[in-house]
Structure 1
Amino acid sequence: MRGLIWNCRGVGKKGMATCLSDLISDHSLDFLGLQETMKKNFSPICLRKIDPSSIFEWVWIPSCGKSGGIIAGARKDILDLSY
């Protein structure tokens, strides 16, 4: 099982979605956790940029102002997410 936990300090930066998508595919990740996302919500379009094949299930905790925010994703066929 392979995963990545990263303090990304802002997931809305230019090129971040492509970077995350490449990390998922290049390293065959089974789960991904990002902290300090600085986002209150993740739209389906944003999640599709990170996970174009929709193989991950996503949950998140919104940021408070300009700090915080956590998102976690796990492959639907391997893991179940609950919070």
Structure 2
Amino acid sequence: MTYGQIAAAAGSPRAARQVVRILHAMSEKHSLPWHRVINAKGEIGFRDEEKFSSQKLLLQNEKVQFIDIKTVDLISHVYSPAAKENPDNWI
């Protein structure tokens, strides 16, 4: 999912940055799957090389395909709860 999708699912569609903060602060304590969340462009958002590499490796271990160095193929890999109800509304 993207940060924006999570914010929208939580009822605050404009709160993507807060999702970033929450994942950063709470992922380790609550074992959140932070690595599965990317930005709306399908990109890994970390500028820190170690964090970037860690997220990319975790995604690749889950067979997520990249279309370039930092961009996930959103069409193939995005998760959308709405898609289960309406396949034409996947993102």
TM-score when normalising by structure 1: 0.35
More strand by share: 1
Higher RCO by CA contacts (8 Å cutoff, separation 6 or greater):
1
The structure with the largest alpha-carbon Rg is 2
Question: What is the TM-score normalised by the length of structure 2?
Answer: 0.33
Counting helix residues as a fraction of each chain, which structure ranks higher? 2
